[in-house]
Amino acid sequence: MLNILLTRIDNRLIHGQVAVTWSNHVGANLIVVANDKVAGDVVQQSLMDMAVSGVETRYFTIQETIDKIGLASDDQKIALIVKTPQDILKLVKGGVPIQKVNIGNMHYSEGKEQLTSTVSVDEDDRETFRELNKLGVHLEIQRVPSEKGENIIDLI
């Protein structure tokens, strides 16, 4: 049985909050980063690995994640991390059984509207979240485990 304990959108990917706080909170022993660019960047992987202690890491493209995640052993407790909601949609459409998404950080940039202190979206993000919602994926903004989550659909 596939054990995805956390699926998180965080444009920083692995950092202290993900590597320590979230992985410990959910009991993950493996962090899988699904990102086409980082999958081929060993320098960035090494920098992210420096934040991790006692948890294994894997760096896959979106397609590799779709192809390989179902091969995880029963004892692998997975925290799946992506940069964008569009990546989540590709994974879901590719058959990855994601039922709930934790939205941690989507930084503000020109053309985006700030919904919370850590989440900003543009129209493409809004459409993607609506499509994920229609596919039955629960979408919750929650920076850290001690905060109460907030359904993003209520904000967009």
Catalytic residues: 15
17-24 long-range contacts (CB < 8 A, ≥24 apart) are: 17/104, 17/143, 17/144, 18/51, 18/79, 18/81, 18/104, 19/48, 19/51, 19/52, 19/53, 19/55, 20/51, 20/53, 21/144, 21/145, 22/79, 22/102, 22/144, 22/145, 23/55, 23/79
Best CA proximity match to 6, nearest among 21, 17, 19, 22: 22
Contact 149, 140 (CB under 8 A): yes
